Amino acid sequence: MSFFQKLKTAVTTPIGGQKIKPGDLSSVPGASSKPVPKANTVVSGAGGAPTIPASSVVDALSDGVMALDRFGNIRLVNPAALRLAGFALGSDAVGLNFSSVVSLFDAADNAIPDNDNPIRAALSKNTEYVSRTLKIFNQEQKTRIPISLHVTYSQTDDAIIVVFSDISAEVRESHEQLAFVSTASHEMRTPVAAIEGYLSIVLDPNNATLDARAQDYVTKAHSACTHLGTLLQQLLDTTKLSDHQMTPQFQAVEVGQVVSAIAAHASPLAAGKQQVLSLDSVPISANSQTHVRQLLYAKIDPNFLREIITQLLENAFKYTPEGGRIDVSTVGNEHEVVITVRDTGIGVPQTDLPHIFNKFYRVDNSDTRTQGGSGLGLFIAQQRAEAMGGKLYAESQIGTGSVFYLRFPRISEQQFQEEQNALAMAQSSNPAPTDATVAQVVPPAQPTP
Ligand code: ADP
């Protein structure tokens, strides 16, 4: 018998002196009229060993366990669940709605709205849910505790089983690791930038005369240094995103306009390999970007969007042979804006496709080996897309090309106007700093040879 089967047939824990018999929920206020099936309430000992009441097992678990009826009312709860929720152990939680005991927050400490609540979703749609990124509000300590949450629907009992455990120690450890990687990358970026600067000076014929061999070595050292600088920046970005130090700065924008500007900026890169870059099927160059298109609005972080599209375009240029084609398009349906970056490049094997968004994953073949890269670009792009409530995924055919899709919720023109008006109001009541208060931007110092 599985843990859940044992659990489902267990008696409720004694709370506030009230003990409910197995299969008898009639005394529980608000409990479903459908009784929990009457079954064995003991965990049988093998070979005639003494039996242990299942309720004792549930009570002894360090994981919080709750069983809810169709209406979200608590039919069973163990002490660990009440401890995590900071609900006085002596009080009677059975019969209460789960929402008065369990308040969930996301990793960035935002309250989970009712329509996104996974327990609520399981109640209405019988969906299963597993997460390690939520927090539970502890009513006693007034703190939010990171939890792993597992919500399942039991068809047999028409009940929702919620299991959660405290993962504070794990989260603290991962936070320390992220802080270490972040500090190390930050500290290493400065000397690497200095080395790169010195190598650029050496490569400049106005500063130094190199024979062909030395020129070759210094060029390779310079390129390795640039790669290292990019890698350190990517590590810094990924740790900041994972640690919620970098959160999206949402702004209502007309998406097509932002995408046009990004593509126009990237177009010189296409020229390097005689590739054609087109926007909504119209070939673009840095100077021509006017074409008729649908106006599509969304609330996103324009910097995150720029980083994502730039990454997809850089990959498309990199993994598409000379003379190939890259097409960027922005379309919308009723609810979503969909940006696609399509190329006629080498494609990704089907076996690798599910992994290319993983940290440090690179397809291992001769085509990719000849291209520099860290395997972090798509990971960061997907992190950014998800932080904005969007989705980033790919389809690909080896030898034919790849399509990357970025989708996020669309807002109406009216919502866009309202956001713009709210922004204008906020800016007028909180004016931009005057020249006197603006910090001087000092250009980065050139290393002296
Ligand atoms: P990298 O720095 O290696 O390019 P990414 O995270 O950007 O790292 O991409 C991961 C891997 O996915 C790449 O190494 C490459 O194998 C594959 N890939 C990404 N984009 C494309 C593309 N447009 N065409 C073919 N393969 C791609």
Let me know: does 295 contact 413? Beta carbons within 8 Å. yes
CA distances from 50 to 38, 43, 57 (A): 21, 9, 14
Residue nearest to atom 20 of ligand 1 (CA): 315
Q: What is the pLDDT of residues 119-161, one digit of tens each?
A: 998 998 888 899 988 999 999 999 999 999 999 998 888 899 9
Q: What's the CA-to-centroid distance between 394 and ligand 1, angstroms?
A: 11
Q: How far is the CA of 286 from the centre of ligand 1 (A)?
A: 25
pTM above 0.75, yes or no: no
Average pLDDT, the chain: 83
Give the class (CATH, top level) of 3-166: alpha beta
Chain centroid to Cα 244, Å, comes to 10
Which 3 state secondary structure label does DSSP give 124? helix
In angstroms, the CA 359 to CA 238 distance is: 9
Nearest of 383, 388, 384 to residue 411 by alpha carbon: 388
Query: Cβ(230) to ligand 1 under 6 A?
Result: no
What is the per-residue DSSP string for 231-278?
A: HHHHHHHHHHHHTTSS----EEEEHHHHHHHHHHHHHHHHHTTT-EEE
Does residue 37 register a pLDDT over 80?
no
- Number of other CB atoms surrounding residue 64 within 10 Å: 23
Top mutation candidate among 378, 398, 406 for ligand 1, by most atoms within 8 Å of CB: 378
Question: Is pLDDT of 326 > 90?
Answer: yes
CATH of 248-429, one of 3.40.50.1370, 3.90.550.10, 3.30.565.10, 3.20.20.70: 3.30.565.10
Report domain extents, the chain. Answer: 3-166, 168-246, 248-429
Which token pair is 440?
């001087």
The span from the CA of 416 to the CA of 419, in Å, is: 5
Share of the chain above pLDDT 90, in %: 59
Of 110-114, 123-127, 252-256, where does the model show the most confidence? 252-256
Q: What's the CATH code, domain 168-246? A: 1.10.287
**In this predicted structure, what is the pLDDT of residue 47?**
65
| Residue 126 burial class via C-beta count within 10 angstroms: exposed 0-12, middle 13-18, buried 19 and up | middle
The per-residue pLDDT for 10 is 40
Ligand 1 centroid–CA 377 distance in Å is 8
Task: Please give the distance, rounded to the nearest whole angstrom, from the Cα atom of residue 318 to the centre of ligand 1.
Answer: 9
Q: Provide the pLDDT for residue 32.
A: 38
Instruction: Give the residue whose CA is nearest to atom 8 of ligand 1.
Output: 375
What six digits make up the tokens of 134?
């939520």
Residue 24 has pLDDT above 70, yes or no: no
CA of 347 to the centre of ligand 1 (A): 9
Q: Whose CA is nearest to atom 25 of ligand 1?
A: 347
Ligand 1 pocket: which of 348, 353, 397 to mutate (most atoms <8 Å of CB)?
A: 348
Average pLDDT over residues 320-335: 94
Structure tokens at 337: 């804006």
Paired tokens of 281: 């099927």
Query: Which atom of ligand 1 lies closest to the CA of 362?
Result: 14
Q: Which residues pair with 339 in a beta bridge?
A: 330, 406
* E strands, 5-142, in order: 42-43, 52-53, 64-68, 74-77, 104-105, 129-138
With residue 69 as reference, give the H or E element that holds it: none
Tokens 């130094």 belong to residue: 208
Q: What is the pLDDT of residue 138?
A: 95
* Tokens read off for 363: 């397809």
Share of the chain above pLDDT 70, in %: 82
Q: Is the pLDDT of residue 46 over 80?
A: no
Ligand 1 pocket member 375 (CB < 6 A): yes
More confident of the two residues 165 and 438:
165
Contact 406, 392 (CB under 8 A): yes
User: Cα Rg for the chain, rounded, in angstroms?
Assistant: 29
Distance CA 372, CA 225 (A): 12
